[in-house]
Amino acid sequence: MEIVKMDLCHASQVAELEKQCFSDPWSLNAVTGEITNPLSLWLVALNGEKVIGYIGSQSVLGEADMMNLAVCPDGRSNGVGQALVQALIDALVGAGVSRLTLEVRVSNTPAIRLYEKLGFQTIGRRPNYYYHPKEDALIMGKELPA
């Protein structure tokens, strides 16, 4: 497995995984737009040419928001999700980002456990943040080393 920056050749596989993993997926156009967005950093985990996971973020004024993280269903519980979050943290630290936040469904125990394992703390809750189905989001955050 290797983790690299998302490129145009990965975008359609990422958009397919979005559809598989989320009830409100990003479109192929939206994913493709992130490649050239100067505020965005997306990484993909590759097994050969196959995208087995991805993570997306946007940064403004030294603070980043992690917007997307998914691992293909048959690749889970293998350390890929953790490796993607850690690779994003490393890249953001390298870019001088000092804080990373994210939203997660309150029922999403696997993701919450992953973020807690990597030192994220719950800093708030957004009522009815998600649709399909409607659900609150936990806001989690982590201070990054200088």
Ligand X SMILES: CC(C)(COP(=O)(O)OP(=O)(O)OC[C@H]1O[C@@H](n2cnc3c(N)ncnc32)[C@H](O)[C@@H]1OP(=O)(O)O)[C@@H](O)C(=O)NCCC(=O)NCCS
Residues that bind ligand X (CB under 6 A): 21, 69-71, 76-82, 104, 108-111, 113-114, 117
Nearer to ligand X, 96 or 126 (CB): 126
Q: Which of 18, 34, 54, 115 is labelled catalytic? A: 115
Given the residues 103, 129, 131, 135, the one annotated as active site: 103
Q: Considering the complex, what minimum distance in angstroms separates the CB of residue 137 from ligand X? A: 9
Query: Would you state the structure tokens that stand for residue 90, as one six-digit string?
Result: 């490393």
Distance CA 108, CA 26 (A): 19
Residue 24 or 38 with smaller CB distance to ligand X:
24
Active site residue 115: yes
Question: CB-wise, 87 or 93, nearer to ligand X?
Answer: 87
CA dihedral defined by 145, 83, 7, 55, rounded to 10 degrees? -80
Tokens of residue 43, six digits = 């990484």
Please, which residues bridge with residue 63 across strands?
Answer: 60, 99
Question: The tokens 């497995």 sit on which residue?
Answer: 1
User: Shortest Cβ contact with ligand X: which residue?
Assistant: 81
Q: Nearest distance from residue 35's CB to ligand X, in Å?
A: 20
- 3-state SS, residue 120: coil
User: Is 131 known to be catalytic?
Assistant: no
DSSP 8-class letter at 24: S
Catalytic residues: 103, 115
